[in-house]
Every structure is written in structure tokens, then in C-alpha cells.
Amino acid sequence: MIAMSDRAGAPDSLDLNRVRADFPILRQTVHGKPLCFLDSAASAQKPQVVIDTVSKLYETGYANIHRGIYKLSQDATEAYEGVREQVRDLINAEHAKECIFLRGATEGINLVAQSWGRAFLREGDEIILTEIEHHSNIVPWQMLRDEKGLQIKVAPVGDDGALDMDAFAALLSPRTRLVAMVHVSNAIGTIMPVEKIIELAHAAGAKVLIDGCQAVPHMPVDVRALDADFYVFSGHKIYGPTGIGVLYGKAELLDAMPPWQGGGDMISTVTFEKTTYNELPQKFEAGTPNIAGGIGLGAAIDYVRSIGFEAIAGHETALLDYATEKLRGISQLRIIGTAPEKGAILSFVVDDIHPHDIGTILDREGVAVRTGHHCAQPAMERFGVTATVRASFAIYNDFNDVDRLVAAIRKALEIFE
């Protein structure tokens, strides 16, 4: 029997019943219990409209893009390029060509490291990261550091997981060429003060890359208002398909950067003596792209915008507040990450019970959470743990999901104590 929340009927500007009905996966049971999905920070579930858009494309509209003279190809090209305009509008980029389609955020960061970093960074140059970055915003810079003799400096977070702004500012120097920072931490939920960071970094003459994986699905992002030089996100976290993501870069930066991968589409002319390169965005999009993924991402963006970020943020913040209060009521539980500004992500440890054991018991209750280091081992080390249990919320979660999480944790405690 699922406990009904005291908040289940709370007024809410988001039509939760309708939203939940849009996600067919939520209708299934897991180990005999209705699925309670609390792992959207890893990857979000897909609304019917995204599933339908992708299958309809394959049924009636599929062909390779950019090259075909025939109608099917031209229509698919138009649909795919239309999504680039949707992305431009979503993040308020100035030009659609500044939005490069790639596999995801990981590929976007690697592109910046390998293209911009290799071309413009020199021995002794410094890159500032933070203690709570995802591995995808650490490892590409280490690879570049080892190749070019760079220095990586790490800005610390306080015990609550908020960035230590004084320590960050003290790391900036005339040698700082890049600040690469998460917008919202996937591991502990901290929302970084990226606007201020970008201002300080620019004043020091550095460029800024923001990893927006956990921001774009949950809040309005305006790359021009932020004045971000580079901004990356993955489609699968904003209810779109896997294998599609976006690197935004200011046109003058992308124009000056050498191509990264070579192949079809990214060229203008090829002879064995010399190749000339295509313009943006194709210069960075070698090979047949994820056509269906891109078009599916367009459906996801439309879907999210039809709900609206105000309603989304209001709902998810209410879930976070409710869940935080409920988890604080469990004395054996320690929340990791209590910054004043947080996304709807709750990381925690329970006594000395291994997070994987908690996760396994939760799974038996139909509650899907992530356990482990969340691809952020340095963040775990900062808080003296090797792993946490992480519950992350999305538009389709309700207060009943929180109650089920809490009940399942209490059950785990009974089993282990």
C-alpha cells in the first residue's frame, strides 16, 4: 500500500496528472510496485510525444540530411535544422550556427579541450575547475594539461557544498585562460553563481565554459545574459533521446577554432593536397549526425516549453523542500550538499550502510535511485565519502514519490539495524 502524502493535493501550477500521463514508462510496475523514478539527473524519462516523433520519423520521414536532392532528405534536413533554431531560442544564443550538435555534454567539453585548448593554450597557462565537477569536466582538461604543460587549479566548496567565492577569486591570475564549471552539480545539487563567476573570469581575461547538463532541463538559461563563452548540455536529460547534445560557443571563438574531427559534412572541398573546411556549425559536425535524436530533441524542447520553466522550477523546488524536510527527519541520515541555492537533487548517506545496499532495498520497493560516486569522485572525497545515495527529481515526480522514498529508507534501516 502506498502512503498518500500530506502534500499530495497541494495546489501546483503544473498539471501533474497530465504530465505523469505523458510518460508511459511510469505506468509500469517494478518488483510488483509502481515505478517511482528518482534518477532523472542520470537520464530523464521520455514523454510520448518524443517517442512518437522519433518513430514517426523512421516510419515516414527518414533520410540522411544535408546531402540529398530528393524531398525526403530535404524535409529531414529542414526538421533537423529547425531544431537548431529551437535550441538557439531555448538558450537565447544570438545565432543558430553557434549551437553545435554533438553526442552530448561530454563530447562538447572534449571538443573545446581538443580544438580551442590545443590551439590557444600554452605551457604554464592555467585552468580553474571546482571540487564538484563531473568527471567529464575534469578528465579532458587533465589530458590537455599533460599534453601542453598546463596547470589545473581547483576552487573549493564549503561544507555545505556552495562555492567559496573568495577562494575562487584568489585563484584567478593573469595566467588563467579558462574557468570550466558546472552550472548545477549532478552529485550534490549546488547551483553555482555562474553569472558572477563569468564576470570575474572575464575581468581576469579568462574564457568560461559552463556545464549546463543539470540546469537546462530545470531552469531558463540565457547564454547571452550570462555572457558564457561556451555552454554544454545533453539532450537525454531534458527528456530527449540519447546521443544528442549541444555545444554553444560564441561565434567568434568557434570561427577561430580548428575543426576537431575530420570527415563528411565538415568540409568545403577536398583534394589529396588540401582540404578546406565548411562554415559553422558543420565545421564541427563531421559524419552523419544523430538525425532522429536531433529531431526528437526538438519535440522534447517543445514539450518542456509547453509546461514552462516557471511551473517546472516551482514544482521541483517544492519537491526538493518537501524531500529535504522529510529526510532531515531520519536521524541516521546525512544529506551531502546543503547549499542555499540547490537544484532538485538530494545526495545522502545513511549510517554506515553502504549506498549500494540502500539502493538495492529501495529497488525492491520500486524506488529507482542512483548510488555510487556519480562520476564526481573528487566531490565525494571532499565530503569524506566514497559514494552516496542520490534521489533526483523531475517534472513527473510527485510528493507521493518522496513519501515512498522515505518509507523505503526506513525499511532499509529496519533491515540493517
Q: How far is the CB of 208 from ligand PMP (least distance, A)?
A: 15
Among the options 36, 99, 213, 375, which is catalytic? 375
Site for ligand PMP in 107-136 (CB under 6 A): 134, 136
- CB of 140 or CB of 281, closer to ligand PMP: 140
* DSSP-assigned states of every residue in 161-215: S-B-HHHHHHH--TTEEEEEEESB-TTT-BBP-HHHHHHHHHHTT-EEEEE-TTT
In contact, 21 and 415? CB cutoff 8 Å: no
Q: Is 240 exposed, middle or buried (0-12, 13-18, 19+ CB in 10 A)?
A: buried
Per DSSP, the three-state class of 392 is strand
In contact, 392 and 323? CB cutoff 8 Å: no
Does position 213 interact with ligand PMP (CB under 6 A)? The reply is yes
- CB of 182 or CB of 402, closer to ligand PMP: 182
Closest CA relative to residue 284, chosen from 114, 91, 120 = 114
Number of residues that bind ligand PMP (CB under 6 A): 15
Q: Provide the pairing of β-strand 388-392 with 367-368.
A: unpaired
Active-site residue flag, 36: no
CA pair distance 411, 403, nearest whole angstrom:
12
Q: How far is the CB of 214 from ligand PMP (least distance, A)?
A: 5
Contacts with ligand PMP, 360-379, as mask; x by CB under 6 A: ---------------x----
Q: How far is the CB of 230 from ligand PMP (least distance, A)?
A: 13
Does position 214 interact with ligand PMP (CB under 6 A)? The reply is yes
Site for ligand PMP in 160-199 (CB under 6 A): 182, 186
CA pair distance 168, 155, nearest whole angstrom:
5
Question: Which listed residue (47, 104, 161, 298) binds ligand PMP by CB under 6 A?
Answer: 104
Site for ligand PMP in 225-244 (CB under 6 A): 234
Does position 99 interact with ligand PMP (CB under 6 A)? The reply is no
The length of the chain, given as a count of residues: 417
* Piece of the chain touching ligand PMP by CB under 6 A; list 100-108, 196-204, 220-228, 387-395: 100-108
Q: How far is the CB of 183 from ligand PMP (least distance, A)?
A: 8
Does position 39 interact with ligand PMP (CB under 6 A)? The reply is no
- CB of 22 or CB of 133, closer to ligand PMP: 133
CA pair distance 213, 237, nearest whole angstrom:
7
In contact, 343 and 351? CB cutoff 8 Å: no
CB atoms closer than 10 angstroms to residue 352? 7
Active site residue ranges: 375
- Provide the binding-site residues for ligand PMP, judged by CB under 6 A: 41-42, 104-106, 134, 136, 182, 186, 211, 213-214, 234, 245, 375
